[in-house]
Amino acid sequence: MNTRLEDLRERICILGPSNSGKSTLANAIARRQGLTVVHLDVLYHLPNTDWQVRPADEFMALHDAAIAEERWVIDGNYSMCMPQRLLRATGLILLDISTPLSLFRYCRRTLLERERLGALRGGRDSIKWNMIYHIAAVTPKNRKRYAKIFHDVELPKVRLTSIRAINQCYQRWGLER
């Protein structure tokens, strides 16, 4: 990886499977670069609920307001609004970790972490079968789609394919978790 953090500039999208470390990386980049961090999961779900989805028009309005800003790092996928996000982006990071690792990280996070970056305010993290299904069955198809997006997009970009590569990126860019 030869791309420097500065090459990604002031509007960075972070894509990748659930529980790949997108929110943690977004927060570290935001602190280092003085960017506003936007967690799409927080915009997509209603606060103080058990991950209840917002009405689509509300989510889109929140998303579009966030990307209209001049300096941000956004973590999350949400394909329905990815085209306009990528049009505004100045850099892209793809975390492309394996499905088994995503499942492991989901279980560890849900069972062991009381507070985490990107968590829903007032929400409860618990093991949910629909989330396990999403990670095990939907994520592998999405990984292929994200790889194609990554390949096709004409932006400065970084693809990190393992926890080791992610950790090395933190070191190279001088990021703190």
Whether 78 contacts 22, CB under 8 Å: no
| Residue 168, domain member (yes or no) | yes
Q: What range does the domain containing 18 cover? A: 7-173
Cβ distance 26 to 75 under 8 Å? yes
Return the pLDDT at 108.
85
Let me know if residue 61 belongs to a domain: yes
Cα 83-45-136 angle, rounded to 5 deg: 75
Confidence of residue 25 (pLDDT cuts 50, 70, 90): very high
Per-residue model confidence as pLDDT tens digits over 95-119: 999 999 999 988 888 877 766 566 6
Model confidence band, residue 27 (pLDDT cutoffs 50, 70, 90): very high
Whether residue 1 lies inside any domain: the answer is: no
Does residue 43 lie in a domain region?
yes
CATH code where residue 20 lies: 3.40.50.300
Q: Which H helix or E strand runs over 163? A: helix 163-173
45 DSSP assignment: B
Q: What is the pLDDT of residue 100?
A: 93
Please count the structural domains in the chain: 1
Q: What is the pLDDT of residues 44-101, one digit of tens each?
A: 999 888 888 999 999 999 999 999 999 999 999 999 999 999 999 999 999 999 999 9
Alpha carbon distance, N-terminus to C-terminus of the chain: 20
Distances (CA, A) of 81 to 44, 85, 86, 103: 11, 6, 9, 25
Assess if residue 2 is contained within a domain: no
